[in-house]
Protein backbone atom coordinates (compact mmCIF):
# COMPACT_ATOMS: atom_id res chain seq x y z
CA UNK A 1 0.00 0.00 0.00
CA UNK A 2 1.20 3.51 -0.87
CA UNK A 3 3.01 5.30 1.94
CA UNK A 4 2.07 8.86 2.85
CA UNK A 5 4.36 11.03 4.96
CA UNK A 6 2.27 14.15 5.58
CA UNK A 7 -1.52 13.90 5.46
CA UNK A 8 -3.50 17.14 5.32
CA UNK A 9 -6.94 17.34 6.94
CA UNK A 10 -9.39 20.00 5.77
CA UNK A 11 -12.14 20.63 8.34
CA UNK A 12 -14.61 23.49 7.99
CA UNK A 13 -16.36 23.92 11.31
CA UNK A 14 -15.16 24.82 14.81
CA UNK A 15 -17.13 22.02 16.49
CA UNK A 16 -15.97 19.49 13.90
CA UNK A 17 -12.40 20.60 14.56
CA UNK A 18 -12.60 20.36 18.37
CA UNK A 19 -11.26 16.75 18.53
CA UNK A 20 -8.20 17.86 16.52
CA UNK A 21 -7.25 20.25 19.31
CA UNK A 22 -7.25 17.33 21.75
CA UNK A 23 -5.23 15.09 19.42
CA UNK A 24 -2.66 17.81 18.79
CA UNK A 25 -2.12 18.28 22.53
CA UNK A 26 -2.02 14.50 23.11
CA UNK A 27 0.77 14.02 20.55
CA UNK A 28 2.74 17.12 21.52
CA UNK A 29 1.92 18.97 18.33
CA UNK A 30 2.12 22.63 17.36
CA UNK A 31 -0.70 25.12 16.87
CA UNK A 32 -0.26 28.08 14.53
CA UNK A 33 -2.17 30.34 12.17
CA UNK A 34 -1.77 30.34 8.39
CA UNK A 35 -3.59 32.94 6.27
CA UNK A 36 -6.14 33.41 9.03
CA UNK A 37 -6.82 29.68 9.45
CA UNK A 38 -5.90 27.59 12.47
CA UNK A 39 -3.29 24.93 11.70
CA UNK A 40 -2.48 21.99 13.97
CA UNK A 41 0.52 19.81 13.16
CA UNK A 42 1.36 16.61 15.04
CA UNK A 43 2.89 13.17 14.56
CA UNK A 44 0.15 10.56 14.78
CA UNK A 45 1.33 7.15 15.97
CA UNK A 46 -0.08 3.65 16.19
CA UNK A 47 1.41 0.15 16.36
CA UNK A 48 1.98 0.15 12.62
CA UNK A 49 4.01 3.32 12.48
CA UNK A 50 3.50 7.06 12.37
CA UNK A 51 2.55 9.86 9.99
CA UNK A 52 2.59 13.63 10.16
CA UNK A 53 -0.87 15.20 10.18
CA UNK A 54 -1.44 18.84 9.24
CA UNK A 55 -5.03 19.86 10.02
CA UNK A 56 -6.56 23.17 8.94
CA UNK A 57 -9.73 24.74 10.33
CA UNK A 58 -10.71 26.38 7.05
CA UNK A 59 -14.18 27.80 7.62
CA UNK A 60 -17.37 26.79 5.84
CA UNK A 61 -17.76 26.78 2.07
CA UNK A 62 -16.01 25.98 -1.19
CA UNK A 63 -13.69 29.01 -1.36
CA UNK A 64 -12.39 28.44 2.16
CA UNK A 65 -11.93 24.72 1.55
CA UNK A 66 -10.13 25.22 -1.76
CA UNK A 67 -7.78 27.82 -0.27
CA UNK A 68 -6.92 25.58 2.67
CA UNK A 69 -6.29 22.62 0.38
CA UNK A 70 -3.99 24.68 -1.82
CA UNK A 71 -2.05 25.85 1.25
CA UNK A 72 -1.64 22.30 2.58
CA UNK A 73 -0.29 21.12 -0.77
CA UNK A 74 1.91 24.07 -1.74
CA UNK A 75 3.21 25.28 1.63
CA UNK A 76 2.75 22.43 4.12
CA UNK A 77 3.88 19.90 1.46
CA UNK A 78 1.13 17.40 2.23
CA UNK A 79 1.19 14.34 -0.02
CA UNK A 80 -2.46 13.41 0.59
CA UNK A 81 -5.58 15.38 1.54
CA UNK A 82 -8.61 14.21 3.52
CA UNK A 83 -11.75 16.32 3.90
CA UNK A 84 -13.78 15.57 7.00
CA UNK A 85 -17.10 16.98 8.18
CA UNK A 86 -20.85 16.55 8.56
CA UNK A 87 -23.13 16.05 5.55
CA UNK A 88 -26.78 15.97 4.62
CA UNK A 89 -28.09 12.58 3.58
CA UNK A 90 -29.63 12.36 0.11
CA UNK A 91 -30.19 8.63 -0.50
CA UNK A 92 -29.28 5.22 0.97
CA UNK A 93 -27.93 6.73 4.21
CA UNK A 94 -29.24 7.48 7.68
CA UNK A 95 -28.30 9.96 10.38
CA UNK A 96 -25.05 8.83 12.00
CA UNK A 97 -23.77 6.89 8.98
CA UNK A 98 -20.19 7.37 7.73
CA UNK A 99 -19.55 7.89 4.05
CA UNK A 100 -16.74 8.11 1.52
CA UNK A 101 -17.09 9.52 -1.97
CA UNK A 102 -16.84 7.54 -5.19
CA UNK A 103 -17.21 10.84 -7.09
CA UNK A 104 -17.19 14.50 -6.08
CA UNK A 105 -19.31 17.06 -7.97
CA UNK A 106 -20.21 20.73 -7.40
CA UNK A 107 -24.01 20.65 -7.61
CA UNK A 108 -24.29 24.45 -7.63
CA UNK A 109 -21.91 25.04 -10.56
CA UNK A 110 -24.22 25.95 -13.42
CA UNK A 111 -23.50 27.53 -16.80
CA UNK A 112 -26.41 25.75 -18.47
CA UNK A 113 -27.67 29.03 -20.05
CA UNK A 114 -24.57 28.77 -22.26
CA UNK A 115 -25.63 25.35 -23.48
CA UNK A 116 -23.68 23.12 -21.10
CA UNK A 117 -25.03 20.44 -18.79
CA UNK A 118 -25.33 21.31 -15.12
CA UNK A 119 -22.04 21.13 -13.18
CA UNK A 120 -19.97 20.89 -16.37
CA UNK A 121 -16.92 23.19 -16.37
CA UNK A 122 -16.07 24.54 -19.83
CA UNK A 123 -12.45 24.33 -20.97
CA UNK A 124 -11.55 21.88 -18.20
CA UNK A 125 -10.82 18.23 -18.78
CA UNK A 126 -12.63 17.14 -15.64
CA UNK A 127 -15.51 18.24 -13.43
CA UNK A 128 -16.33 14.92 -11.77
CA UNK A 129 -13.48 14.07 -9.42
CA UNK A 130 -12.49 10.62 -8.17
CA UNK A 131 -10.90 9.56 -4.88
CA UNK A 132 -7.40 8.14 -4.72
CA UNK A 133 -7.43 4.33 -5.02
CA UNK A 134 -5.17 3.75 -2.03
CA UNK A 135 -7.15 6.05 0.24
CA UNK A 136 -10.42 4.58 -0.96
CA UNK A 137 -9.19 1.06 -0.25
CA UNK A 138 -8.08 2.03 3.26
CA UNK A 139 -11.47 3.52 4.14
CA UNK A 140 -13.55 0.90 2.34
CA UNK A 141 -12.04 -1.64 4.73
CA UNK A 142 -13.78 0.02 7.68
CA UNK A 143 -16.89 -1.93 8.68
CA UNK A 144 -20.16 -0.16 7.96
CA UNK A 145 -18.80 2.68 5.85
CA UNK A 146 -20.98 3.66 2.88
CA UNK A 147 -19.64 4.82 -0.47
CA UNK A 148 -21.34 6.85 -3.17
CA UNK A 149 -21.47 10.12 -5.04
CA UNK A 150 -20.87 13.20 -2.88
CA UNK A 151 -22.02 16.60 -4.09
CA UNK A 152 -21.15 19.96 -2.60
CA UNK A 153 -22.24 23.57 -2.99
CA UNK A 154 -22.23 26.91 -1.24
CA UNK A 155 -25.65 26.35 0.25
CA UNK A 156 -27.03 24.39 3.18
CA UNK A 157 -29.52 22.01 1.62
CA UNK A 158 -32.55 21.97 3.88
CA UNK A 159 -35.72 21.33 1.94
CA UNK A 160 -37.45 18.25 0.57
CA UNK A 161 -37.66 19.81 -2.89
CA UNK A 162 -33.92 20.59 -3.09
CA UNK A 163 -33.09 17.12 -1.85
CA UNK A 164 -35.28 15.47 -4.50
CA UNK A 165 -33.66 17.56 -7.24
CA UNK A 166 -30.12 16.66 -6.15
CA UNK A 167 -31.06 12.99 -5.98
CA UNK A 168 -32.53 13.21 -9.49
CA UNK A 169 -29.60 15.12 -10.99
CA UNK A 170 -26.68 13.29 -9.39
CA UNK A 171 -27.86 10.06 -7.69
CA UNK A 172 -25.89 11.33 -4.70
CA UNK A 173 -25.69 9.76 -1.27
CA UNK A 174 -24.85 13.05 0.46
CA UNK A 175 -24.36 16.79 0.12
CA UNK A 176 -21.95 19.13 1.86
CA UNK A 177 -20.21 22.46 1.35
CA UNK A 178 -16.53 21.54 0.85
CA UNK A 179 -15.70 18.10 -0.58
CA UNK A 180 -15.70 18.72 -4.34
CA UNK A 181 -13.82 22.00 -3.90
CA UNK A 182 -11.00 20.13 -2.14
CA UNK A 183 -11.16 17.41 -4.78
CA UNK A 184 -10.85 19.97 -7.60
CA UNK A 185 -7.63 21.43 -6.16
CA UNK A 186 -6.18 17.97 -5.55
CA UNK A 187 -7.02 16.90 -9.09
CA UNK A 188 -5.13 19.84 -10.56
CA UNK A 189 -2.19 19.32 -8.20
CA UNK A 190 -2.19 15.54 -8.75
CA UNK A 191 -2.39 14.93 -4.99
CA UNK A 192 -4.35 11.95 -3.60
CA UNK A 193 -7.72 12.89 -2.06
CA UNK A 194 -10.70 11.44 -0.28
CA UNK A 195 -13.60 12.87 1.72
CA UNK A 196 -14.76 11.04 4.83
CA UNK A 197 -17.98 12.44 6.23
CA UNK A 198 -20.77 11.70 8.71
CA UNK A 199 -24.48 12.12 8.01
CA UNK A 200 -26.00 14.68 10.40
CA UNK A 201 -29.40 15.22 8.79
CA UNK A 202 -31.66 14.19 5.91
CA UNK A 203 -31.19 17.42 3.88
CA UNK A 204 -34.96 17.85 4.02
CA UNK A 205 -37.30 20.31 5.71
CA UNK A 206 -36.13 19.35 9.22
CA UNK A 207 -32.40 19.28 8.35
CA UNK A 208 -31.34 22.44 10.17
CA UNK A 209 -32.37 21.31 13.65
CA UNK A 210 -30.93 17.84 13.10
CA UNK A 211 -27.60 19.24 11.90
CA UNK A 212 -27.32 21.76 14.73
CA UNK A 213 -28.02 19.17 17.42
CA UNK A 214 -25.27 16.84 16.17
CA UNK A 215 -22.77 19.57 15.38
CA UNK A 216 -23.09 21.13 18.83
CA UNK A 217 -21.93 17.88 20.42
CA UNK A 218 -18.41 18.42 18.97
CA UNK A 219 -17.94 14.63 19.09
CA UNK A 220 -14.78 12.76 18.18
CA UNK A 221 -16.68 9.94 16.41
CA UNK A 222 -15.95 11.14 12.88
CA UNK A 223 -12.30 11.91 13.58
CA UNK A 224 -11.93 8.43 15.05
CA UNK A 225 -13.17 7.00 11.72
CA UNK A 226 -10.68 9.23 9.88
CA UNK A 227 -7.94 7.83 12.11
CA UNK A 228 -9.07 4.24 11.48
CA UNK A 229 -8.49 4.80 7.78
CA UNK A 230 -5.07 6.30 8.49
CA UNK A 231 -4.32 3.26 10.66
CA UNK A 232 -5.01 1.09 7.62
CA UNK A 233 -2.39 3.07 5.70
CA UNK A 234 0.37 2.59 8.27
pLDDT band of 3, cuts 50, 70, 90: confident
Strand segments (E) across 62-127: 80-89, 98-106
For the cut 90, the answer to whether the pLDDT of residue 46 exceeds it is: no
Q: Which range has the worst mean pLDDT, 32-36, 192-196, 224-228? A: 32-36
Q: Tell me the angle at which helices 62-74 and 179-189 cross, rounded to the nearest 10 degrees.
A: 30
For the cut 70, the answer to whether the pLDDT of residue 137 exceeds it is: yes
- Determine which helix (DSSP H) or strand (DSSP E) holds 70, and give its type and residue range: helix 62-74
Q: How far is CA 88 from the centre of its chain?
A: 13
Residues 182 and 63: their CA atoms lie apart, in Å, by 9
pLDDT band of 195, cuts 50, 70, 90: very high
Nearest to 194 by CA among 139, 141, 153, 144: 139
CB 106 within 8 A of CB 62: yes
For the cut 70, the answer to whether the pLDDT of residue 1 exceeds it is: no
Strands 37-46 and 49-57: antiparallel
For the cut 90, the answer to whether the pLDDT of residue 133 exceeds it is: yes
CB 223 within 8 A of CB 20: yes
For the cut 80, the answer to whether the pLDDT of residue 11 exceeds it is: yes
Q: What is the pLDDT of residues 77-96, one digit of tens each?
A: 999 999 999 999 999 999 99
| pLDDT averaged over every residue in the chain | 96
Q: What is the pLDDT of residues 93-126, one digit of tens each?
A: 999 999 999 999 999 999 999 999 999 999 998 9
Amino acid sequence: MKKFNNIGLVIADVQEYAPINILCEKYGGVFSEQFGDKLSVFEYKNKGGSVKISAVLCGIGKVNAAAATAYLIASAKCDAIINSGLSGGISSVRRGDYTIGTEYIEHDFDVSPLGYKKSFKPDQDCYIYKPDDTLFEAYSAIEGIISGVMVCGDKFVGSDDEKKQIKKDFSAVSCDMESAACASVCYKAKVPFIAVRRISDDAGDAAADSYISMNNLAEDKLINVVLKGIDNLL
